[in-house]
Amino acid sequence: MKLNHTELKKTDDVPEASIFAVVGAEDFARQTAITIITTKFLDPDFSEFDCDKIDGGGLDAAQALAAWQTVPLGSPRRVVTIRNLDEAQPAEIGKLAKAATSTCSRGCLILDISSDASKEVKALIKAVSEVGVVVSCSAARQEDARAFLAQATERLGVKYEPLALEELIRRLGPDLWQLVKESEKLANYIWPQTIIKKSDVEALITAAPEDRIFAMIDAMSEGRPAAAGQMLDSLFRAADDIRAAAHRTLAVLVRHFRLLWQARVLRDAGFTFRDVVSVPASAAVMLPAVPNILDVFKRQTFLMGKYRAQSERFDLKTLADAFDILADTDLALKGQKTSVGSPQADLEICLTRLGLLSGTRKRPKTP
């Protein structure tokens, strides 16, 4: 049996099974699922006696299976959790896969797996799916984060205004650990009020320098040069070291345009920016390993919409021109080409020229 972690909201949703594989990159979702499963089968009064937690790094499969088979003292089942199972030795994982073909009426074995990259782990998950339950905890998407925050804030007794919710996700991304942590801070910050506003998020959740750079780049790429110029000015006003800030800003700009070039290649190959698995293989092989836009999309699905929109404004020729502008700016900052006056001025000229490129290609009308 296979379930998504969102289907495990309470213990009544947990199937009667003796083995669970909780699999995926989203740490908070995995730990939440493990807690719900444990709560179903473990009597809190006997938690010291009927619960075993084993680290995968030093896993002895025989000992773990023996604990699984042990009669519980006072709980419905004895709960054995193997954390970080993907760090175990392949031979020990193989032993678990063989044992997973059987069931145990008195035990509950929970396998905590953050990555299913190895063939041994894949075989183990397949074995568990046939007799037990595999709980999927893949990396959260933006819509997952929205649903998660609705539940989390309900428990905290507060609600987000729509704009506040979007701003929080924009600043933190769909990282569930961070979202719940910062939501708790915001709930305390606005007390005794119960509505979290965008201004509250902006006041309490500090945007990292890179985040401010990304916002500036988005403004420039989307044809808002005045807003981009104001953001660049605020970046330098907040910087302790002007030259270091210029180099950091340029580095982020270069990375963005490398990804934007890849987005344009994918668009020209017919990619619709809806599902990363639908990328044409002929286009995927053309992309560099680092930075790789497909890796970015897998981690942050919500970015597909942004790169889809921005890639409409730049064709491959204008992107080639953009790389020339970036190279000129890099040489100016390093003193190998004439500067226009200061690191900030060099970046201002760079941003202006890039902004002009983004306006040379009209966005097609949406059908």
Identify whether 363 is part of a domain.
Answer: no
With a cut of 70, say whether residue 74 has pLDDT above it. yes
Please give the tally of structural domains in the chain: 3
Q: What is the pLDDT of residues 264-305, one digit of tens each?
A: 999 999 999 988 888 888 888 989 988 999 998 887 787 888
Identify whether 367 is part of a domain.
Answer: no
Question: CA-CA distance, 187 to 159, in Å (whole number)?
Answer: 9
Cut 0.85: pTM above it: no
Give residue 40's domain range: 2-136
Least confident range of 154-163, 171-180, 285-294: 171-180
Q: Are residue 234 and residue 330 in the same domain, yes or no?
A: yes
Identify whether 230 is part of a domain.
Answer: yes
With a cut of 80, say whether residue 315 has pLDDT above it. yes
Q: Are residue 23 and residue 87 in the same domain, yes or no?
A: yes
Report the percent of the chain where pLDDT is more than 90: 49
Scored b (16 or more CB within 10 A) or e, 249-268 reads: bbebbbebbbbbbbbbbbbe
Identify whether 38 is part of a domain.
Answer: yes
Identify whether 366 is part of a domain.
Answer: no
pLDDT of residue 364: 44
pLDDT of residue 367: 40
Q: List all residues 6 or more positions away from 100 whose beta carbon is below 8 Å from its beta carbon.
A: 19, 124, 127, 128, 131, 132
Q: Are residue 194 and residue 231 in the same domain, yes or no?
A: no
Q: Are residue 14 and residue 34 in the same domain, yes or no?
A: yes
pLDDT of residue 333: 93
Q: What is the CATH number of the domain that holds 273?
A: 1.20.272.10
Q: Are residue 184 and residue 236 in the same domain, yes or no?
A: no
Choice between 25 and 153, residue whose per-residue pLDDT is larger: 153
With a cut of 80, say whether residue 357 has pLDDT above it. yes
pLDDT of residue 41: 96
Q: What is the CATH number of the domain that holds 38?
A: 3.40.50.300
Choice between 145 and 94, residue whose per-residue pLDDT is larger: 94
Nearest to 87 by CA among 125, 109, 116, 46: 116
Least confident range of 82-91, 214-223, 276-285: 214-223
Identify whether 219 is part of a domain.
Answer: yes
Average pLDDT over residues 341-361: 84
Q: What is the pLDDT of residues 1-38, one digit of tens each?
A: 999 888 887 889 999 999 999 998 788 889 989 999 99
